């Protein structure tokens, strides 16, 4: 086949998960508009590239009727400007450039802005604000870490290349033999595909992560821990003492934690205990902690929303300035309370992933969706845009889970517009309709 029909794209980036591996070599069939080979990709990446070809779908659906993207933009803008409590949600599977426009729209309409972080590592974000973060890039972990502790996650199935590219078998400057130079610990409530990778497996009792972490903190500080800790947590004092000795004597330790901590009872207290443990250990050696992030640009969403509003997620603009309110302005809460009267969902599927009370409210209000695929949320949308896929068709910037920005190298063009293009159109039309930012409702008279 000629170069007209086949293209090879090297150093392309996989945006399936937060590893954002940027060493893909993609073979593209330009006539079929599909990726036929994805060298270096893990099983998830191979599926990601294989399944994102060009599907024959309408550019937009308005009330189930086929429409152009321009008609969709007009309908979406009308919904947003006529709503009193519009929400914008999702954003973890799109570029930073698109995220930036979404923040501008939320500001303009005095709406509520939230990302999938709130139902992912949102509690970690809360914990960062409470206790701080001793962190590092994945490159530092690859080159330096001789003790790696995975807590409450299953990277073998959710982030397969985290092991091979960065944290377990990867050879680094100060760990030249890779796996042989590292001690790997896994903490979980059950055995998973990740367990065989570990030298030490701590099977903690469910809902006892906080107690284990607090006991480790006490031991690091030289405090006495009662042997009854084993009855509560399933981990004996001797095992905890051994782990503490390893943590204090390593050259560079890393705690990589998953949603086993944040989606569990204790939420941000669990994450905060782990972050505090990492900080404590810096009295003895170099120790870092970092959340293992799920979606390809969920970390970018945190960064963009933070640099534009001062807060990472759960932000409300209804008073004309950004306010941060986990539990108040996070989307599950806003929907479950029945507060929102319109929603724009960008690259996310809350009608599939949210609790039932939130989904029920989503069904009652006009919804706008931007997604390359048909989803349960797009099926209930008043306005559903078909978009190109970021990273495969759309260029832009994404942030790896360690906050390193990476430039995307698309494989082939899509006839569908990207999220940024559609959102820019909506922003322009909203600006025309409102004549600028919506002024906050003056409630001072009512309060007298």
- Residues of the shown chain interacting with another protein in the complex, contacts defined by CB under 8 A: 16, 43-44, 46-48, 50-52, 114, 118-119, 122-123, 126, 154, 157-158, 160, 189-191, 193, 206-207, 259-260, 262-265, 267-268, 294, 313-314, 326-328, 330-333, 335-336, 349, 352-359, 373-376
Nearer to another protein (CB atom), residue 143 or residue 233: 233
Nearer to another protein (CB atom), residue 90 or residue 326: 326
* In the complex, least distance from residue 395 CB atom to another protein, rounded to whole angstroms: 21
* In the complex, least distance from residue 42 CB atom to another protein, rounded to whole angstroms: 9
* In the complex, least distance from residue 381 CB atom to another protein, rounded to whole angstroms: 14
Say if CB 235 and CB 91 are below 8 A apart.
no
- Classify residue 63 by burial, with Cβ atoms within 10 Å: 0-12, 13-18, 19+: exposed
* In the complex, least distance from residue 359 CB atom to another protein, rounded to whole angstroms: 8
263 token code pair: 């989606």
Say if CB 282 and CB 254 are below 8 A apart.
no
Say if CB 152 and CB 257 are below 8 A apart.
yes
Nearer to another protein (CB atom), residue 157 or residue 226: 157
Three-state DSSP at 313 gives: coil
Nearer to another protein (CB atom), residue 59 or residue 311: 311
Per DSSP, the residues of 204-244 read: PPTT-HHHHHHHHHHHHTT----TTHHHHHS--HHHHHHHH
Q: In what order do the strands lie in the sheet with 147-151?
A: 200-203, 183-188, 147-151, 252-257, 286-291
Bridge partners, 9 (sequence order): 26
* In the complex, least distance from residue 94 CB atom to another protein, rounded to whole angstroms: 16
Nearer to another protein (CB atom), residue 137 or residue 164: 164
Nearer to another protein (CB atom), residue 50 or residue 246: 50
Separation CA 168–CA 263 (nearest Å)? 25
Nearer to another protein (CB atom), residue 375 or residue 382: 375
* In the complex, least distance from residue 63 CB atom to another protein, rounded to whole angstroms: 20
* In the complex, least distance from residue 154 CB atom to another protein, rounded to whole angstroms: 7
* In the complex, least distance from residue 35 CB atom to another protein, rounded to whole angstroms: 12
* In the complex, least distance from residue 306 CB atom to another protein, rounded to whole angstroms: 16
Separation CA 158–CA 18 (nearest Å)? 10
Q: What angle separates helix 69-82 from helix 419-434, to the nearest 10 degrees?
A: 50
- What contacts 24+ positions apart, CB below 8 Å, involve 328-332? 329/112, 329/114, 330/114, 330/118, 330/119, 330/122, 331/87, 331/89, 331/112, 331/114, 331/118, 331/119, 331/358, 332/118, 332/119, 332/358
Nearer to another protein (CB atom), residue 59 or residue 324: 324
* In the complex, least distance from residue 248 CB atom to another protein, rounded to whole angstroms: 30
Separation CA 129–CA 122 (nearest Å)? 11
Separation CA 236–CA 222 (nearest Å)? 17
Nearer to another protein (CB atom), residue 245 or residue 376: 376
Nearer to another protein (CB atom), residue 29 or residue 360: 360
Separation CA 390–CA 96 (nearest Å)? 10
How much of the chain is helix, strand and coil, in % rounded to 5?
A: 40, 20, 40
Nearer to another protein (CB atom), residue 77 or residue 347: 347
Separation CA 272–CA 244 (nearest Å)? 18
Neighbours of 293 (CB within 10 A): 29
Say if CB 296 and CB 20 are below 8 A apart.
yes
* In the complex, least distance from residue 142 CB atom to another protein, rounded to whole angstroms: 23
């Amino acid at each position: 086949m000629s170069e007209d029909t086949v293209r090879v794209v090297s150093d392309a980036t996989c945006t399936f998960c937060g590893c954002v591996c940027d060493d893909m070599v993609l073979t593209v069939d330009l006539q079929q508009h599909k990726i036929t080979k994805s060298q270096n990709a893990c099983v998830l990446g191979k599926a990601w590239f294989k399944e994102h070809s060009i599907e024959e779908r309408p550019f937009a659906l308005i009330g189930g009727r086929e429409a152009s993207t321009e008609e969709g933009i007009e309908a979406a803008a009308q919904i947003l400007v006529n709503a009193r409590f519009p929400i914008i949600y999702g954003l973890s599977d799109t570029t930073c450039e698109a995220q930036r426009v979404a923040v501008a729209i939320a500001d303009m309409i005095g709406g509520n802005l939230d990302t999938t972080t709130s139902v992912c590592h949102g509690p970690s974000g809360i914990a960062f604000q409470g206790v701080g973060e001793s962190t590092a890039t994945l490159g530092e972990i690859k080159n330096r870490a001789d003790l790696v502790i995975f807590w409450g996650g299953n990277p073998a199935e959710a982030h397969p290349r985290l092991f091979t590219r960065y944290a377990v078998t990867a050879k680094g400057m100060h760990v030249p033999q890779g796996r042989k130079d590292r001690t790997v610990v896994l903490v979980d409530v059950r055995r998973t595909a990740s367990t065989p990778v570990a030298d030490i497996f701590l099977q903690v009792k469910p809902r006892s992560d906080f107690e284990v972490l607090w006991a480790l903190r006490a031991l690091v500080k030289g405090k006495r821990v009662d042997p009854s800790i084993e009855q509560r947590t399933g981990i004996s004092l001797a095992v905890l003492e051994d782990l503490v000795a390893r943590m204090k004597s390593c050259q560079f330790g890393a705690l990589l934690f998953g949603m086993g901590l944040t989606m569990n009872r204790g939420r941000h207290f669990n994450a905060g205990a782990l972050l505090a443990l990492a900080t404590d250990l810096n009295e003895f050696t170099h120790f870092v902690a970092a959340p293992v992030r799920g979606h390809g640009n969920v970390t970018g969403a945190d960064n963009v929303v933070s640099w534009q509003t001062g807060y990472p997620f759960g932000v409300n603009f209804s008073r004309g300035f950004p306010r941060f309110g986990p539990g108040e302005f996070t989307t599950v809460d806003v929907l479950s309370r029945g507060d929102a009267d319109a929603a724009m969902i960008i690259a996310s599927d809350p009608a599939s992933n949210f609790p039932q009370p939130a989904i029920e409210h989503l069904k009652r209000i006009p919804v706008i969706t931007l997604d390359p695929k048909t989803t349960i949320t797009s099926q209930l949308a008043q306005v559903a845009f078909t978009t190109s896929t970021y990273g495969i068709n759309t260029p832009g910037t994404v942030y790896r889970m360690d906050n390193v920005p990476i430039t995307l190298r698309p494989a082939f063009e899509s006839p569908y517009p990207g999220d940024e293009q559609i959102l820019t159109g909506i922003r322009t039309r909203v600006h025309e309709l409102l004549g600028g930012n919506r002024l906050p409702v003056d409630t001072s008279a009512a309060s007298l």
